Amino acid sequence: MSEERGLSGSRTAENLKTAFTEEAALAARARAFAELAEHEGEQALAAAFRDLSEGGETLIQGSLDFLRSCADPDSGIAIAGARANLRSLIHTEARLGERVYAQMARAARDEGFPDAASWFETLEKLKASRLRRLRELGDV
Amino acid sequence: MSEELSASDVVVLPGLEAVRRNPWMYIGSVGEDGPRRLLREAIDNSLDEALAGACTRVSVRLDGERAAVEDDGRGIPTEIHPESGVSACEVVLTRLHAGTKFERAPGRWRAGLHGVGLSCVNALSRELRVEIFRGGQAFAQDYARGRPLGALARVGATARRGTTVSFRPDPEIFRDFRGFDAAAAREALAELALLLPGVEFSLEAGGAREIFSGAEGLEGLLARASAGERALTDSPVRVSLGGGELALEARLSWTTGRDFAAKSFVNCVPTPLGGTHLAALRAGAARAVNEMMAETGAAAPGEESFGVDEAADGLRAALDLRLARPHFEGQTKSRLTSADAFAPIAAAVREQTLAYFRADPAAASVVAARVRAARRERLAVGRALERVYFLRARTGIDERVYKEQFGARSRNWHDSAKWITDRELLDAHAAMCEMPAGARALDVCCGSGVVGAAFRGRVASVQGLDLTPEMIALARTRLDEVRQGNVYDLPFPDASFDLVCTREVLHLLPGPERPVAEIFRVLKPGGQFIVGQILPYSADDAPWMFRVFKKKQPLIFNMFQEEDFRRLLTGAGFRPPAARELRVWESIDVWIDSYETTPLHRREIRRLYREAPAEARAVHPFEIAADGTIRDLWRWVVFSARKPG
């Protein structure tokens, strides 16, 4: 009989994070593709894509169900109540807003895509605004 | 022959309190569309009688803030409702989801809001009176804010039959309501007359009575859908589909217009946001066009088939769908979501449109040429989009992209958006002028020259500069002199002008630092730069606005926020700018009806407004009317920056 241990730090936990992220991205793509298919008059495909997107929510949340027993897939903070979860979201918004989007904007500008750079900068500013709001909630 | 209604035909589902608490959930808006919606609900109540073949006349009277809708139908049942102990009429007027339409009799089409209609009107009216003429007796009952002031009373004998509902919207709910809009009622009744030619629709307003003719039928609705455009064929395609639970009449016509537009109705209720029935109509028409082009040799063997956007470009349609069990998105029924309706409608449209083409080869040939022109335009837009990515901030811009786009737009430049000629906005730019009367001004990227022309009388001369020959020709009618040139490399010596102005340009330019530096260079020491720009209200609406603007205009390179713009100016050496903010309503429907915005992008922009995220809605005002039209209160900021003396 195998020794009983938690998910934290396991390869399975990493795989659950991957499943969570991949399914979230797939559902978002399917939702966008459904809109495009509907515009093209491909009603049957639009309905199938929409079903895929809506069904995806169960798959996304299913992986998160497992991760609840260890930690948030991005921040690593335990999923243990609204206050802890708020800290997790602040962690991600700060990571994206204070580092990631600024780097992406610089890269886009260097490669000659000023509109994409402006998009990343717009996201960076939104993240700063959201962070302010979330931190205020944390203060409360 | 219609059957008589009785009290036991009325089915009751509970609850009306929520309507006054959250009226927008039931009628979509408490703005100017709200009272219009109430009137429409009252009309729809009579329409149900017309659709059941039980009435021949519907009349509407408008008198300031009061409206009355009268029909000669069977009359709302007056008997005591067996489950409620009050009259069936009172049940209909005070309970949500009370009404005969839940009976679901096969083959019956219903217009009202699944029984929400009259009770909503009652709940949201300061006063309402219902008069019923039924079985030789006249009855009346009065209400205030949804509550009965007494029981339904018999008021005498009568030979009439029918129902009259008169009401006054509650000013506590509709705070900006100042009276009913006769024009909107006229439009709605005229369309209903065309849908139901056997019923007389009339309007009394402002001391006059109009009766609307339904003689033209669906052809009349098609003419309304294609107003101002020329039909390319002698007669429209006629599509008919009859069946137990779905019946369709449609007319289709390819025109000189752009994109696809339709007047569509489900059970006589307008569906301005379209839905399954219009998606099916477009798909069916596209299939017919592709088959026709293959049969006639208009398409080369192996050629990529024509997409819905190409086949339906310029297509106008009038569609009257009757459905026994329609499903809609939202309580106000503006979009049909009944998936089952798609296949039969698409098949009928395909089959009957193809038969039309086969019977009229000349019409088929004209439509084939129209569809091919749509493909050429799509490819041209696609090429422009591809070329955008060959632009490089450091190596300058590809002038062809701007010349092509603004050259095409010059044909209707002043009609292509409200802001372009908005007097208050132009005056706001001119009012910032601090230069003496003898000053020389330059309008950079001047377009038709309206901004520079706003400075006339404040400065001695205004010169213009633009890249596009067609725009230069327009500007020459307004400015003293106009030259062709590129803002990245202004064709003027240093310190040539006292004032430079421009508006809504810098966001279109990659590397805007360089044109601003050029403007700084050509200004004299102490000179003034006046520049107007649409900006997001905050960081919270900026990503949403970025998507809207980028879909409208692929040449957008910068979604400036106010601090970015100030930094851009001070970074070039200007003193910290003064700014004046003003807000201007823009018609989004007009703004996106342009060469550079594809049909897909137009659709996506409308959806972005309908589904705007809460964080954007919280700071950025816009309105979506019941007919689906959108207007946005844009935030304009006019900056004035001085070059150090």
The residue assigned the tokens 């400065």 is B459
- Is the confidence at residue B113, as pLDDT, over 50? no
Residue B361 tokens read as 């080869």
CB pairs under 8 A between A and B: 76
- At residue B298 the predicted structure's pLDDT band, cuts being 50, 70 and 90, is very high
Closest CA of chain B from A32, distance in Å: 10
Identical fold at A1-70 and A79-140?
yes
Q: Report the amino acid identity of residue B1.
A: M
Is residue A7 over pLDDT 70?
yes
| DSSP per position, B99-123 | BGGGG--TT----SSTT-HHHHHHH
Which chain B residues are within 8 Å of A50, Cβ to Cβ?
Answer: none
Pull the structure tokens for residue B346. Answer: 């698409």
Judging contacts by C-beta atoms under 8 Å, the chain B residues touching residue A36 are 600
CB contact under 8 A, A114 and B510: yes
3-state SS, chain A, equals CCCCCCCCCCHHHHHHHHHHHHHHHHHHHHHHHHHHHHHCCCHHHHHHHHHHHHHHHHHHHHHHHHHCCCCCCCCCCCCCCHHHHHHHHHHHHHHHHHHHHHHHHHHHHHCCCHHHHHHHHHHHHHHHHHHHHHHHHHHC
CA–CA distance, A12 with B1 (Å, rounded to integer): 70
Contact (CB, 8 A) for A134 and A86: yes
Nearest by CB to A118, which of B307, B388, B558?
B558
Beta strands of B389-446 (E only): which ranges? Answer: 440-444
To probe the interface with B, which of A36, A122, A132 has the most B CB atoms within 10 Å? Answer: A122
Cross-chain Cβ contact B279/A129 below 8 Å? no
pLDDT at residue A73 in the model = 87
Q: Rg of the Cα trace of chain A?
A: 19
Decide which of B613 and B401 is more confident: B613
Residue % of chain B over a pLDDT of 90: 64
Residues from chain B that touch A41, judged by Cβ atoms under 8 A, are: 279-280, 282-283, 286, 308, 346
Q: Is the pLDDT of residue B14 over 50?
A: no
The span from the CA of B636 to the CA of B507, in Å, is: 13
pLDDT band for position B11 (50/70/90)? Answer: very low
User: DSSP labels for B461-510?
Assistant: EEEEEES-HHHHHHHTTTSSEEEE-BTTB-SS-TT-EEEEEEES-GGGSS
Would an 8 Å CB–CB cutoff place B197 in contact with chain A? Answer: no
* Average pLDDT of the segment spanning B65-77: 94
> Residue length, chain A?
140
Q: What is the dihedral of CA B346, B348, B354, B356, to 10 degrees?
A: -130
Residues of B in contact with A40 (CB under 8 A): 307-309
Give per-residue pLDDT as tens, B326-347: 888 766 667 888 888 999 999 9
What is the identity of the amino acid at B217? G
- Mutation target to probe the A interface, by most A beta carbons within 10 A, among B395, B552, B557, B610 is B557
- Ramachandran angles phi, psi of B327, nearest 5°: -120, 135
Cβ distance A122 to B392 less than 8 Å, yes or no, reads no
CA dihedral defined by B125, B128, B133, B137, rounded to 10 degrees?
150
Angle at B520 between CA B517 and CA B521, to 5 degrees: 90
Tell me the residue ranges of DSSP E strands in B206-287.
Answer: 208-212, 237-241, 246-254, 261-266, 269-270
Mean pLDDT of A61-70: 92
Q: Which of B289, B391, B546 to mutate to test the interface with A (most CBs of A within 10 A)?
A: B546
Q: Do B339 and A126 touch (CB under 8 A)?
A: no
> 569-608 in B: which are within 8 Å (CB) of A?
599-600, 603-604, 607
Please tell me which residue of chain A has the smallest CA distance to B260. A39
Long-range Cβ contacts of B593-597 (<8 Å, 24+ apart): B593/B258, B593/B259, B593/B416, B594/B409, B594/B416, B594/B552, B595/B377, B595/B381, B595/B405, B595/B408, B595/B409, B596/B381, B596/B384, B596/B405, B596/B408, B596/B409, B596/B552, B596/B553, B596/B554, B596/B555, B597/B551, B597/B552, B597/B553
CB-CB under 8 Å, A47 with B282: no
Q: Which two tokens stand for residue B347?
A: 């098949």
| Per-residue pLDDT, B110 | 66
Least confident range from B259-263, B386-390, B451-455, B493-497: namely B386-390
CATH code of the domain made up of B7-212: 3.30.565.10
Per-residue pLDDT band for A43 (boundaries 50, 70, 90) equals confident
pLDDT at position B173 over 70: yes
Q: How far is CA B623 from CA A49, A127, B136, B562, B610, in A?
A: 30, 26, 47, 24, 9
When CB atoms are compared, the residue of A36, A41, A130 closest to B282 is A41
Q: Say yes or no for a CB contact (<8 Å) between B559 and A38.
A: no
Residue B401 confidence (pLDDT) above 90 = no
pLDDT digits (tens, 9 = 90+) for B40-67: 989 988 988 888 888 999 999 999 999 9
Helix (H) or strand (E) holding B293: helix B276-296
Cα Rg of chain B (Å, integer): 29
Bridge partner list, B443: B464, B501
DSSP letter (8 states) at residue B417 = -
B115 or B509: which leads in pLDDT: B509
Q: Percent of chain B having pLDDT more than 70?
A: 91
**Mean pLDDT over each residue of chain A, to the nearest integer:** 91
Residue B330 is predicted with a pLDDT of: 66
Residue B101 has pLDDT above 60, yes or no: no
User: Among the listed ranges B19-33, B391-405, B407-421, which one has the minimum average pLDDT value?
Assistant: B391-405
The CATH H-level (homologous superfamily) assignment of domain A1-70 is Ferritin, core subunit, four-helix bundle (1.20.1260.10)
Q: How confident is the model at residue B4 (pLDDT cuts 50, 70, 90)?
A: low
Distance (Å, whole) CA B284 – CA B270: 21
**CATH superfamily of the A79-140 domain:** Ferritin, core subunit, four-helix bundle (1.20.1260.10)
Looking up tokens 């403007």 gives: B519
CATH of B399-537+555-585+634-642, one of 3.30.70.1350, 3.40.50.150, 1.10.3720.10, 3.30.70.1560: 3.40.50.150
Minimal C-alpha gap between B188 and chain A (Å): 28
Contact in structure between A7 and A72 (CB atoms under 8 Å): no
Q: Which amino acid is at B209?
A: R
| Each residue's pLDDT tens digit, B582-641 | 999 999 999 998 877 888 899 899 999 999 999 999 999 999 887 888 999 999 999 999
Domains of chain B, by residue range, sit at 7-212, 217-375, 399-537+555-585+634-642
Token reading at A92: 């991600």
Q: Where are the domains of chain A?
A: 1-70, 79-140
A134 token code pair: 């979330």
A interface test, pick of B282, B289, B315, B558 with most A CB neighbours within 10 Å: B558
Closest Cβ opposite residue B538 in set A39, A42, A129: A129
Which residues 58-117 of A have a C-beta within 8 angstroms of B?
Answer: 109, 112-115
Query: By the CB < 8 Å criterion, does A125 face chain B?
Result: yes
Question: In this predicted model, which residue has the larger pLDDT, B375 or B218?
Answer: B218
Higher per-residue pLDDT: B390 or B468? B468
Mutant choice from B349, B549, B559, B602 vs A, greatest count of A C-beta within 10 A: B559
Per-residue model confidence (pLDDT) at position B385? 60
pLDDT band of B472, cuts 50, 70, 90: very high
Distance CA B572, CA B285 (A): 55
pLDDT of B43 reads 94
B326-356 CB burial, b ≥16 within 10 A, e <16 = bbbeebbbbbbebeebbebbbebbbebbbeb
Q: In sequence order, what are the beta bridge partners of B328?
A: B336
Q: Which of A115, A121, A133 would you mutate first to test chain B, the one with the most B CBs within 10 A?
A: A115
Closest chain B C-alpha to A13 CA, distance in angstroms: 32
Q: How far A29 CA sits from the closest chain B CA (Å)?
A: 15
With an 8 Å Cβ cutoff, are A113 and B389 in contact?
yes
Residue B556 and residue A115: Cβ atoms within 8 Å? yes
Helix (H) or strand (E) holding B348, with range, is helix B342-359
Q: Which residues of B touch A35 (CB under 8 A)?
A: 604, 607
DSSP B579: E
Nearest Cα of chain B lies from the Cα of A93 at a distance, in angstroms, of: 14
Q: Torsions phi, psi of B489, nearest 5? A: -150, 75
Tell me whether residues A118 and B559 touch, CB distance under 8 A: yes
Q: How far apart are CA B487 and CA B513, in angstroms?
A: 11
B41-63 per-residue burial string, b: 16 or more CB within 10 A, e: under 16: bbbbbbbbbbbbebbebbbbbbe
Please indicate if any CB of chain A lies within 8 Å of the CB of B618: no
Is residue B386 scored above 90 in pLDDT? no
Q: B404-458 pLDDT, tens per residue?
A: 777 777 777 788 888 999 999 999 999 999 999 899 999 999 999 999 999 999 9
Torsion (CA) B564, B565, B566, B569 in degrees, nearest 10: 120
- Tokens (6 digits) for B482: 């106009």
Average confidence (pLDDT) over B68-93: 89
What average pLDDT does this structure show over A120-136? Answer: 96
Cα–Cα distance between B124 and B118 in angstroms, integer?
A: 10
B222-267 pLDDT tens trace: 999 998 889 999 999 999 998 778 999 999 999 988 889 999 999 9
DSSP output for B582-603: EEEEEEHHHHT-STTS-HHHHH
Least confident range of B344-353, B370-379, B517-526: B370-379
Mean pLDDT of A110-116: 90
How many CB atoms within 10 Å of residue B310?
A: 23
By the CB < 8 Å criterion, does A134 face chain B? no
Query: Which positions ≥6 away from A40 have C-beta within 8 Å?
Result: B307, B308, B309
Q: What is the mean pLDDT of chain B?
A: 88
User: What is the separation of C-alpha B104 from the centre of its chain, rounded to a whole number of angstroms?
Assistant: 33
Average pLDDT over residues A48-75: 92
Q: Do A126 and B542 touch (CB under 8 A)?
A: yes
Partners of B559 on chain A (C-beta within 8 Å) are 118-119, 122
Q: Residue B68 above 60 pLDDT? A: yes
CATH: 3.30.230.10, 3.40.50.360, 3.30.70.260, 2.60.40.10. Which one for B217-375?
3.30.230.10
**Residue among A2, A9, A5, A59 nearest A30 (CA):** A59
Q: Which residue in chain A is spatially nearest to B547 when comparing CA positions?
A: A119
Does the pLDDT at position B106 exceed 50? no
The verdict on B219 touching A (C-beta cutoff 8 Å) is: no
